[in-house]
Amino acid sequence: MSAPRSSGYFRTRYERDFALVDTRTQKASLAVFAVILAAYPFVAGPFALDLANQVLLASVGAVALMLLTGYAGQISLGHAGLLAAGAFTTGILFKELAAPFWVTLPASAAVGALLGLVFGLPSLRLRGLYLAVSTLALHFIVIYLGSEYETKRGFSTGVVIDPPQLFGRALSDARAWYFVLLGASIAAVLFSLNLLRARTGRAWRAIHGREAVAEALGISVPRAKLSAFVVSSTLTSVAGCLFAYYRGFVSVEAFSMFLTIQYVAMVIIGGMGSILGALLGSVFVVLFPYAIEAAMAALGLAEDLSGVVFAINYAAFGLAMILFLVFEPQGLVGLWRRAQNWFLLWPFRQKPLSGSK
């Protein structure tokens, strides 16, 4: 599904077809957006900065899951396990070998790639539900290994990690973190966008559409599936490594099933099959609990309900997910596209053909 666009725009050269950003409006709005992103940490307070960092951190994992679920169509319920794998690789290397950032990051990526292969192997035999269940099982196994490490080595509450050294100085300032995470997020998005229009990404979409046809077109289905798992879990594991450094603390409690559900929710709420959707979804899911809290404060209920904030969050989050699943299966991207359409066509209104999506 391409973005709606007014008429009068034609591509006249092949390079224009390859360009990620092609119209002048897109370029201008992207430039404005870049300026806003760059200026944000100098304007925002410490709390808003932390929120932005959390969103950026989540966006890397969400993009990774979007590649796997939204594009390649492979269901995974083991996302928190993969994040935990990256975080624990970092934590263990740091604790046992005092390894620097430049070692832990590639090591996490390698562990992620290996786990992706292991997580992906069931996908060669299983589909749909059964695949989801096998990734769920792997989640529990990774968490078990993590908690085994914690108890056996005596870090029963978790592993504390010092801030990483980048170019000779410790990365402890929130503003510096913002730029590191922004860089990571942009790198993940650009990598994914480029991968998706290349051979690999097109193969993923093909196996999502219909495996038999994809195979008939000469796509190696096992290879496409495994590559989707490996790429996605490598990216996720790197996000886990960044997560460990950003929090400065690794513990199995942080990687519960709920985290997996949150990431899946980012993909669903954002909108399947769209990188923009993954970004919008991560903004929505990360900010959601804070919005609830703010709403409670605005209603003057914060004191009465302070003990049950997490329960309210759970309930509201579940409700939001249900509402999206039932009423807007295309997610925030669907809403965004419809708003664009509305403005493009105004004062006329488009009525979608019945049966079209």
Partner 1 sequence: MQLAVNILVLASIYALISCGYVLIYRVSRVLTLAHGELMMLGAYGLYASASLFAGHPLIALAASALVALAVGFAVYGALMWRMTGESVLAAVLATIALGILLRGAMVLAFGTQTLHPLDMLGWTNYSIPLGGARISVASLALVLCNAAAYAGLFAFLRATRWGIRMRAAGQNPLLAAQRGIGLHGIYALAWGLATFTGGLAGMLLACDAGLESTLVTIGLKAFPAALVGGLDSLLGALVGALIIAGAEVLLIYYVDPLLSDVVPFIVLLAMLVVRPWGLFGSKEELDRV
Q: What is the DSSP string of 247-302?
A: HTEE-GGGS-HHHHHHHHHHHHHH-TT-HHHHHHHHHHHHHHHHHHHHHHHHTT-T
Radius of gyration, alpha carbons of the chain? 21
* Count of residues that bind partner 1 according to CB under 8 A: 47
Torsion over CA: 287, 248, 109, 140 (sign): negative
Task: Enumerate residues 69-88 that contact partner 1 by CB under 8 A.
Answer: 69, 75
Our finding on whether 147 is near partner 1 (CB under 8 A) is: yes
Number of H helices, E strands in the chain: 14, 4
Give the whole-angstrom CA distance, residue 79 versus residue 90.
17
Q: What is the DSSP string of 310-346?
A: HHHHHHHHHHHHHHHHHH-TTHHHHHHHHHHHHHHHT
Name the segment binding partner 1 (CB under 8 A); options: 27-35, 168-176, 314-322, 338-346.
314-322
Our finding on whether 180 is near partner 1 (CB under 8 A) is: no
Name the segment binding partner 1 (CB under 8 A); options: 16-24, 50-58, 261-269, 332-340.
261-269
CB of 295 to partner 1, least distance (A): 15
Give the whole-angstrom CA distance, residue 58 versus residue 124.
28
Give the whole-angstrom CA distance, residue 182 versus residue 58.
11
CB of 281 to partner 1, least distance (A): 13
CB of 4 to partner 1, least distance (A): 25
Our finding on whether 115 is near partner 1 (CB under 8 A) is: no
Our finding on whether 213 is near partner 1 (CB under 8 A) is: no
CB of 229 to partner 1, least distance (A): 14
Our finding on whether 266 is near partner 1 (CB under 8 A) is: no
Our finding on whether 315 is near partner 1 (CB under 8 A) is: yes
Give the whole-angstrom CA distance, residue 347 versus residue 117.
52
Q: Which residue type is seen at 189?
A: V
Name the segment binding partner 1 (CB under 8 A); options: 21-29, 84-92, 280-288, 324-332.
324-332
- Footprint on this chain of partner 1 (rule: CB under 8 A): 69, 75, 122, 124-130, 132-134, 136-138, 140-141, 143-144, 147-148, 151, 211, 221, 257-258, 261, 264-265, 268, 308, 310-319, 321-322, 325-326, 329
